[in-house]
Amino acid sequence: MPSQQLLPVTNRYFDSPTSSVSGSPPSMAAVLLKIEDDPSTGLYVSPSFDDDKNASMKPLLPRASSYTSISTTTTASNNNYQQRRRRINSDNSLPTLSSTRVGGRRESLGRDETAAEEAFVLTRLSLKLLRYLGVGYRWITRFLALGCYAFFLMPGFLQVGYYYFFSSQVRRGIVYGDHPRNRLDLYLPKDSEGQKPVIAFVTGGAWIIGNFPQGTISDMVNDASQGISFVCNHIAEYGGDPNRIYLMGQSAGAHIAACTLLEQAIKEAGEGERISWSISQIKAYFGLSGGYNLLDLVDHFHNRGLYRSIFLSIMEGEQSLQRFSPEILARDPNIRTAVSRLPPIILFHGTGDYSIPSDASKNFAETLKRAGVKAEAILYEGKTHTDLFLQDPMRGGSDQMFEDLIAIVHANDPDAIAKDATAPPRRRLVPEFLLKLAHNVSPF
């Protein structure tokens, strides 16, 4: 596969968001009352003794025949009495059964009413608490969408996770700095013959995953610089070519990596600055779905769920937004010399990206060109924030962005280009219908 010709390095610790009810229905108690007041809904049986009252009195028998018929008369009387007694008892039991049924139904409905009221109160209080914590309905719906999105892509995540934890080609948790978060993962190619080109990849995650509140933007840029320094100085030990190192970042990682490049260029343009790696060691920079002008994006992020208060805390206050906006810094004539030191910059972006609009890459590329930097923006029609680095790779087969990237990395390597042409298609990780569902529900 083409990916076998790369030696990618990623930093898994770099950052990879009271309703009112009107017209309430009648209570269950009122409904029960109406049911019990309606005689058509119940079973009402009352015993009647009219037959006893209307019983005719027979004359006394003659004395002469009284002894001969007393046994028969007494037996018949006793039988009639016992029959009436059984009928009365049976009739008395019917209202009791009916009352039990109605009462049980009333108790059951009462319990249901109580449970429903408790659930409503808990839900209302939970939503109020989330609102006080800065979590609005928009954030909640996106969180639910994120859950569905992850569920649809789970077949791919499981396979990638298995590879990450069990493949002998992955070196996990390599220490490159003093902080616990300073760890990187190294992915080795199957073909171990000769030194391979290297891509140092800074992952995304809204500047939060893996970083905040462990550190703010200054710490993130410093971590990225330390990671790049480690790669430049030690990658040869793992079979990488120190003369063919490429830097890449995705989303927030693209912003951090661009800030790191500019900071390093400014250091090198100054005098007396001590550096552990050089801009000249980076062959090119690839920015994927990144944002490079924070002043233009802060309101957009707020509307998308990354609230202004949190974002400004990450960026060390509103006064620092300009300092950490590579596009704005590249316009500064005072650092034009430093900007001119930047390597070629290629920015990938999907036009269907709602998390960071594709204009962010277009505008940054135009600013760099005016500053004398070799730069270009490559746009992919209809691709979202995650299509380019998640759904498309999981689809297998041809991947346009990956092919564009490989063409740049292997531009001066005829052998690698020949292998790319004959490489088998990549294996599909997720069925197409799940990829389409993930695309439709994606909150990014």
Residues labelled catalytic: 251, 353, 385
Distances (CA, A) of 67 to 74, 393, 406: 11, 112, 126
Tell me if 426 sits within 8 A of 1, measured CB to CB: yes
- Bin 298: left if φ > 0, else alpha if -120 < ψ < 50, else beta: alpha
Is the bond preceding residue 62 a cis peptide, omega within 30 degrees?
Answer: no
Phi, psi of 306 (to 5 degrees): -90, 90
Distance CA 89, CA 94 (A): 9
Secondary structure (3-state) at 192: coil
| SS3 labels along 143-180 | HHHHHHHHHHCHHHHHHHHHHHHHCCCEEEEEECCCCC
Distance CA 16, CA 39 (A): 68
Tokens of 127: 């939503």
Tokens of 45: 């049986």
Tell me if 387 sits within 8 A of 175, measured CB to CB: no
